[in-house]
Amino acid sequence: MKAEWYDSFLNLNYKVKKDDLICVYKFKPARGISAKEAAGAIAAESSTGTWTKLATMPQRRIANLGAKVIKIQKDYVTIAYPLDLFELGNMPEILSSIAGNVFGMKEIDSLRLEDIQWPDKMKKSFKGPKYGVQGVRKLLKVKDRPLVGTIVKPKLGLNEKEHAQVAYDAWYGGLDIVKDDENLTSQPFNNFKKRIKKTVKLKEKAEKETGERKIYMANITAETKEMIKRAKYLKDIGNEYAMVDVLTCGFSALQTIRNEMDDLKLVLHGHRAMHGALTRNKDHGISMTVLSEVCRLIGVDQLHIGTAVGKMEGSTKEILYIVEDIENKFIKKQGHMLAENWGNIKPMFAVCSGGLHPGLIPPLIKNFGKDIIIQAGGGVHGHPDGTVAGAKALRQAVDATLNKIDLAEYAKTHKELAGAINKWGYMK
């Protein structure tokens, strides 16, 4: 049965208003459905419409409130959403509109939210990162080289004392950052408070011995009130960072935690566990670009975005676009991706992680530049001579790359790096 009024959401001559939110979707109409019908359905169901005309429709014109299909070009449809459709500062509501029911409709075979252009009034209703790239660099006193870090491995199973020792070895070996893994919270074998206490104590020891600032990104992921309690504990014990699994926690909880950071003043590290369920299928779901923009607006200071050279899916082209989109003030229109002016929303630090080891550092820095946070777990703790050597090898690979020295050449005088590239090889 043909829906009655979806085509009234088509307005290809519509003149976009400065307060409109603009979305680009990649779409494939279902069999027997025209591109216009499918596009109208997306606009209707993501704004004011439903499949049949309504007796409850008020006399006054609310058509202006409805979303408008402004462009259909090959596989892409562009839709303009009047600002009044949304509650400013409420990310869950905004996503329930533009990324809600639309993915389940029979009118489409597949649908992917590719990019969003955010109106200024909406951007101003979010806090953005408290620290961002420059704030994190200032905290660590590292001016322009990539930050290097590790994840304590194995991701689960170590007790608090073992965890703290692995972290200490990584810092002692020269790494800036140690983080908990995305699924380590407060399990029977590793209690949150005990872990933090032991690890922060050894962080301070490593800082004294190396003379360098060190960072511990402790995972507070839990029920929202519990997350706030854990963040307060980190603050009280003098730890500067908290880590949150942004998707499994949800954007409502993430906004709550970001609000708490105004008082607690912790840096927020965002892990994107579960993103693949949304981002992996290039025809259906939500792009990592959109998830990154949502996190920048809400105010995560740094976010995992991929490596292209490591173990996780993601192309150099897509990841490079995301690095530019989250770290720059202006982003130009590129193909079907929209231009953006981030105004006063601070740049969010790009985190490259997943299957990295010293041998992959040259292409990583060549592709994405120096404003990245490099995280290697197996690539440090899997070093044949252990964590301290693994940490040294990662730092050495960064130093060699920044000084444009071939890794094999540099390894001749740096045995830790030699150990790493003998085991894992290297890319130029």
Shortest separation between residue 283's beta carbon and ligand CAP, angstroms? 20
Find out whether 80 and 20 touch, Cβ atoms under 8 Å: yes
Contact between 155 and ligand CAP by CB under 6 A: the answer reads yes
Residues 172-191 vs ligand CAP: string with x where CB under 6 A?
---------xx---------
Contact between 181 and Mg ion by CB under 5 A: the answer reads yes
Contact between 182 and Mg ion by CB under 5 A: the answer reads yes
Which region among 102-110, 178-186, 202-210, 231-239 touches Mg ion (by CB under 5 A)? 178-186
Of 266, 271, 264, nearest in space to 292 by CA: 271
- Residue of 77, 99, 151, 242 interacting with ligand CAP (CB under 6 A): 151
| Pairing between β-strand 349-353 and β-strand 372-375 as defined by DSSP bridges | parallel
Find out whether 128 and 329 touch, Cβ atoms under 8 Å: no
Q: Which of ligand CAP, Mg ion, none interacts with 333 (beta carbon under 5 to 8 A by kind)?
A: none
Three-point CA angle 154, 158, 159, nearest 5°: 165
Per DSSP, the chain holds a count of helices (H) and strands (E) of 17, 15
Q: Is 271 a catalytic residue?
A: yes
Contact between 270 and ligand CAP by CB under 6 A: the answer reads no
Contact between 162 and Mg ion by CB under 5 A: the answer reads no
Q: DSSP letters along 23-57, please?
A: EEEEEEEPTT--HHHHHHHHHHHTTT--SS--TT-
Of 307, 269, 330, 273, nearest in space to 132 by CA: 269
Shortest separation between residue 311's beta carbon and ligand CAP, angstroms? 6
Nearer to ligand CAP by C-beta: 230 or 272?
272
- Residue of 258, 304, 346, 414 interacting with ligand CAP (CB under 6 A): 304
Contact between 358 and ligand CAP by CB under 6 A: the answer reads no
Residues 58-97 vs ligand CAP: string with x where CB under 6 A?
----------------------------------------
Contact between 306 and ligand CAP by CB under 6 A: the answer reads yes
For 355, the enclosing helix (H) or strand (E) is: none
Q: Is 414 a catalytic residue?
A: no
- Could you tell me if residue 306 is left (phi over 0), alpha (psi between -120 and 50 degrees) or otherwise beta? left
Three-point CA angle 285, 288, 292, nearest 5°: 130
Q: For residue 322, how far is the Cα from the chain centroid?
A: 9
Q: Residue 273 has what DSSP assignment? A: T
| Catalytic-role residue among 179, 198, 271, 357 | 271
Contacting residues toward ligand CAP, per CB under 6 A: 151, 153, 155, 181-182, 272, 304, 306, 311-312, 353-356, 376-379
Catalytic residue IDs: 153, 271
Contacting residues toward Mg ion, per CB under 5 A: 181-182
